[in-house]
Amino acid sequence: MSVEVALLGIRHHGPGSARSVAAALAQWRPDAVLIEGPPEADGIVHLAAEKDLVPPVALLAHAVDDPAKAAFWPYAEFSPEWVAIRHAVEHDLPVRFIDLPAGYGFAPAPEDGAEQDAAGDEAAGDEAAEPVADPLALLAEAAGHDDAERWWEDVVEHRAPGTDALAPFAAVAEAMGALRAEGLGESRRDLLREAHMRQQIRAARRAGHQRIAVVCGAFHVPALEDMPTVAHDRALLAGLPKKVRTDVTWVPWTHRRLSQANGYGAGVQSPGWYHHLFTTDGDPVPRWLTRAAELLRAEDHPVSSAHVIEAVRLAESLAAMRGRPLAGLTETLDAVRAVLCEGSDVALELVRDRLVVGDALGEVPDAAPAVPLQRDLTRLQRSLRLKPEAAPKDVDLDLRKETDAARSRLLHRLRLLGVDWGVPARSSVNSTGTFRESWRLCWQPEFAVRIAEAAQWGTTVEEAAANKAVGTARAAEELAELTGLVETCLLAGLSGALPAVMRVLADCAALDTDVAHLAGALPALVRALRYGDVRGTDHGALAEAASGLAERICVGLPPACVGLDAESAAAMRGRLDEVHGAIGLLAADPGTTGDGADDAGTAPDIDGLAGLPDRWAAALGSLARREPTGGPATGAPGLLRGRAVRLLLDDGRLDSEEAGRRLRLVLSVANAPADAAGWVEGFLTGGGALLLHDPRLLALLDEWLTGVGGEVFTDVLPLLRRTFAGLEAGVRTTVGARVAAGPLGEPTAAPAAAGELDRARADAAVPVVAVLLGIRPKIPRQAAGRDT
């Protein structure tokens, strides 16, 4: 009996191709199914019969010794390959993958020994395997169409299978044969893959199968129809490098990732729409527009049934005018914009995001192979009730609750391992306490690769994160990196890793003499020290390290600021503000950092902290006095001197009289205008309300500005513009009004006498003001008498 082979050429992730494959397999009834895909997955393809394996999913292959070398083969419910897999497992048929093994893609290139990028050669499996010249675009151009996607939808996706389910595949094979006859789109990699596919078809014949169905990309069909000699294919495959040992498993995938053309995406522009086409019987447009109306109504858009009826009519009319057999996505979206969204692109974008793309996330059964780290993470996700979801989700955690504290530790540990499932976010709850954390959760399919990479550090999330922290500390080169790592260890509850990290921090801090490095490292250390009590952390070593860094900064700051250029001065100003805030936290009274009794922050009891604010104030005072008497290189930049004066003024170490005197000296004709402009910028950064409260300062500034020469004014204008642009809009408006009203420096008019006050009008405003302040108003006797 002769062996029959049915070559079903498909378009990857095409719902029309998927329906045609289902019809062809049901009609032809093969006794074996061969599918384009990695042969390493043959051992786990049977899991497709599990009800817990829910698409979209992907086959993940990675090198055993280097999990970073990885590739994905994604499948959605509308993928023809997935339809073929499901048909095979439901009918208990042998199913094999016949593409070139993934292990070859992870091997070094034979010509130069350089490692190939697995993501470039194998990522997304099917899409990366397509030739550079898109055969569909070539066919559409030959048919007189400028849009390949629309042409393919018209001739394949929108047409139901006929009485002969194999006829469409014969037509596609003929078209692709014409392209291959001209040598269009071929590459050496395609030739190697096709040689391996032919070898696998021969193996299926030798195994005794009589009716073999082959599901592959349509471009490969002509190469599989005309079988060359075995020797020819063996000669082609002889040049392959040594195959790398590879592990394969199923992982969840998302429609959103399918829609991305780069990275591990598949380039499917409308997976949500394709899913609707595949799963809907009859005309899909009315039902899809009904879903769009439901979505818009849920977002408070006024959409009625009449809108849906009119949108259906418009979509069908547009399809007829454009000569299309059915309304496609283009016509449907045009109808949505015109009728349901009333011309609003904002509402249309919501429909595109939720329905055209979608946030579907697949599921994988526990029986799927996984590294121990992945299994531990799955266990923690279930015990902490944190379900991975493709759609972004905001979560507020109360660290006083054990479950929320455990969730926080898990998210911080995963971030340490490079799995950014959760990212810190601004909370919608107004709270200044340190017991609350806000996260935005969004699960990405590529996290499976990062988890496989992180498995080298340990078999549990805690063990892997602790070992990764120690390894990162030993490789760190910057002191700020180490203090940030200490803070992360505390947030992640990695008490086992903290001693080793602290030893490396102590050694690095002792050797580092750069004040900028010390200043960049202190804030993270102080945050960990100040707010770590919420997690019950021991502060001994942290307190000593923070105190030592603060003392060295106080001593070294003034000389370190001498001779800095503009860029370095701007960077140092940021560090100056951060250190000022950190020292304020270190020396603050217990319980003053948050919202009262709910705040867990307490001041650490460390010898020498009592005098730290005074020593820091002395350092700022020394910096403020370092004027460039012999040129810019002999003193501190005006930006830093002005900032130091402002910090001293805000802390009450200087009064406004002294601040005004220093401003007057800086703005004198003896000083360079550029240095004076920098001083003003540093002094006003963070708020210009003091110019309103002290008219003398504003008068001094106005007098200096009006006295600057034309050429010099052009030079300092960018500094001044940047300075005043940073002020609050209300402050800028009021300052401008006062300067325009002039003259400045004179005392403002005294308020009206008490006898001129209209008490009746004032009493009427009392209840409103009381509500705004949250207090109970005291009703005047006259008002109470009138009410009675």
DSSP character string of 208-273: T-SEEEEEEEGGGHHHHHS---HHHHHHHHTTPPPPPPEEEEEEE-BHHHHT-SSTT----S-HHH
The three-class DSSP label of residue 671 is coil
Query: What pLDDT is recorded for position 429?
Result: 58
| pLDDT means over runs of 10, the chain (788 residues) | 85 88 94 95 93 92 88 93 95 95 82 40 40 67 73 70 82 85 77 94 93 93 91 91 92 87 62 92 91 94 94 94 86 94 92 91 90 92 92 89 93 94 77 74 90 90 94 87 86 86 84 83 79 54 78 87 87 90 72 41 52 88 83 79 88 83 78 82 78 75 76 76 79 81 58 62 84 69 46
What does the H/E/C string look like for 695-743?
HHHHHHHHHHHHHCCHHHHHHHHHHHHHHHHCCCHHHHHHHHHHHHHCC
Say if residue 743 is preceded by a cis peptide, omega within 30 of 0.
Answer: yes
Query: What pLDDT is recorded for position 347?
Result: 93
At 626, list the tokens: 């370092």
Is the pTM above the cut of 0.75?
A: no
State which amino acid sits at residue 771: V
Phi, psi dihedrals of residue 755, rounded to the nearest 5°? -70, -20
Query: What pLDDT is recorded for position 192?
Result: 92
Residue 652 CB contacts under 8 Å (≥ 6 apart), including other chains: none
Query: What pLDDT is recorded for position 602?
Result: 46
Query: What pLDDT is recorded for position 742?
Result: 67
Query: What pLDDT is recorded for position 283?
Result: 87
Nearest partner of 223 among 234, 235, 233, judged by Cα: 233
The three-class DSSP label of residue 602 is coil
Beta partners for residue 396, in sequence order: 438
**Positive or negative torsion for Cα 482, 488, 490, 494:** negative
**Positive or negative torsion for Cα 727, 733, 739, 745:** negative
CA distance 25 to 93: 11
**Positive or negative torsion for Cα 277, 281, 283, 287:** negative
Rounded to 10 deg, the angle between the 461-475 and 479-491 helix axes is 170
Query: What pLDDT is recorded for position 127?
Result: 39
| Cβ 691 vs Cβ 649: under 8 Å | no
